[in-house]
């Protein structure tokens, strides 16, 4: 497979922000959507914002076949349907990076809240649904989509959950291609059940402070801890 980066749900806020930042970093991006015309429109918009951007918009299934590491950035309510539709597109050896959060949106002034998932987390549910030989990694739950889509510098840590350090290291490299982001090994995939709950917490904090705050893990030693 090529080194293209497919983003399923790339027309949404988080997916678009990631596509924009990676395009600025010189990565080749494939935006996926249920509607290929929407994906093409998002790709065209990024090409207009980033000089020399290498970006293409395709239907989700086609996009998922374009790279070894596929990012899933759809809302949780669409996770199951999207993964069912991708069963013939995902292949053994691929990594699926699940960025979904089991969260109910605010209603009638009430704060956002996490939803219970029988498997423990959205990431663990995704691992049960992907074809055999596809490995799920969980990350990008604490960075604001608005911050990614903007022009301000980033200065945040991104927690990465997964079973194998080598797989997480491959995803960490992509994370750290985005200037100002540092990937932090947060442990096994089951740890995603804790990390996913940080999203509604940060939404609540940012609403109160009118900010796009993320997280920073202090006290970590310097150097590359992924090799």
In the chain, where are the structural domains located? 5-209
pLDDT score for 116: 55
Q: What is the pLDDT of residues 59-80, one digit of tens each?
A: 999 999 999 999 999 999 999 9
Burial bucket for residue 44 (CB in 10 Å: 0-12, 13-18, 19+): middle
Q: Does the pLDDT of residue 222 top 70, yes or no?
A: yes
pTM, full prediction: 0.93
- List phi, psi (to 5°) of 186: -100, 5
**Would you state the CATH architecture of domain 5-209?**
3-Layer(aba) Sandwich (3.40)
pLDDT score for 3: 85
pLDDT score for 108: 40
Which two structure tokens, joined as six digits, stand for 6? 């497919």
Q: Does the pLDDT of residue 9 top 50, yes or no?
A: yes
Q: What is the pLDDT of residues 94-130, one digit of tens each?
A: 999 999 998 766 444 444 656 555 566 999 999 999 9
Q: What number is the average pLDDT over the span 188-205?
A: 93
Q: Does the pLDDT of residue 221 top 80, yes or no?
A: yes
pLDDT score for 17: 97
| Mean pLDDT over each residue of the chain, to the nearest integer | 92
Asked if residues 131 and 91 have their Cβ atoms less than 8 Å apart, the reply is yes
Q: What is the 3-state secondary structure (H, E, C) of 89-103?
A: CCCCCCEEEECCCCE
């Amino acid at each position: 497979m090529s080194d293209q980066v497919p983003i399923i749900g790339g027309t949404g806020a988080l997916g678009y922000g990631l596509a924009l930042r990676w395009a600025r970093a010189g990565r080749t991006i494939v935006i996926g959507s249920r509607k290929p015309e929407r994906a093409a429109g998002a790709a065209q918009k990024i090409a207009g914002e980033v000089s020399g951007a290498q970006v293409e918009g395709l239907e989700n299934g086609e996009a998922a076949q374009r790279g070894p590491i596929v990012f899933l950035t759809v809302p949780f309510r669409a996770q199951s349907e999207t993964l069912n539709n991708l069963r013939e597109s995902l292949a053994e050896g691929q990594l699926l990076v699940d960025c979904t959060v089991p969260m109910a949106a605010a209603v009638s002034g009430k704060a956002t809240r996490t939803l219970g998932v029988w498997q423990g987390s959205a990431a663990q549910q995704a691992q049960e649904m992907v074809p055999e030989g596809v490995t799920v990694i969980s990350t990008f739950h604490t960075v604001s989509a608005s911050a990614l889509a903007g022009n301000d510098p980033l200065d945040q840590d991104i927690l990465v959950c997964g079973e194998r350090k080598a797989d997480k290291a491959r995803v960490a490299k992509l994370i750290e291609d985005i200037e100002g982001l540092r990937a932090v090994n947060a442990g096994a995939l089951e740890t995603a059940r804790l990390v996913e709950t940080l999203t509604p917490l940060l939404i609540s904090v940012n609403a109160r402070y009118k900010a796009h705050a993320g997280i920073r893990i202090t006290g970590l030693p310097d150097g590359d801890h992924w090799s």
